[in-house]
Structure 1
C-alpha cells in the first residue's frame, strides 16, 4: 500500500488517494477487530482458569473431608475389634 508502512511515519491522508485511505481504514478496523477478539478470548480463558481453580479447591476440600471421615471410620473399626476380642 503506497503511503503507509508500520515502520514509517504516520501517513498523510491528504496525499493519499481515496482508495488508499479506504484500504488504510479497513486495515485499522481489521486490527481493532482482531485485538477485540484476542481480548475476549483472553477474558474467556481467564474465566475458565478461575472456574477450574475454584473447582480444584472444592475437590481438595472434598478429599480432605473424605480422608477425615475415612480415618474416623478406621478408628471406630479398631475400637470395635478391641471390644470384640
Structure 2
C-alpha cells in the first residue's frame, strides 16, 4: 500500500466535496447514540440551566478545567499497571 500522491490529486477531495451536507442539513446532526442535535441550542431550553452563566475553565468547573474541554478533548482514563497491587496503589 502506498501513500496518495498530492501532485496527481489522489486524495479524493472531489468525492468528499460531493458528500458535504447542504447548509440546511448542517444545522442538525446525529450523535453515535442516535441523538438529534441542532447547531444552535434553543434559548428557551437552556435558560433554566444553572451553569450557562459560567465560563469554561473557571470555577465551578462544570464544563471542565480547560476552555475547550471536554468538547475538543474527550475525557480519558490513563492505564496504570505493573507497579503494585490495586490495594497498595490506593493506600
Which category describes the TM-score, using the shorter chain as reference length?
under 0.3
With normalisation by structure 2, the TM-score equals: 0.21
Which structure dedicates a bigger proportion of its chain to helix? 1
Greater relative CO, 1 or 2 (CA 8 Å, sep 6+): 1
Which structure dedicates a bigger proportion of its chain to strand? 2
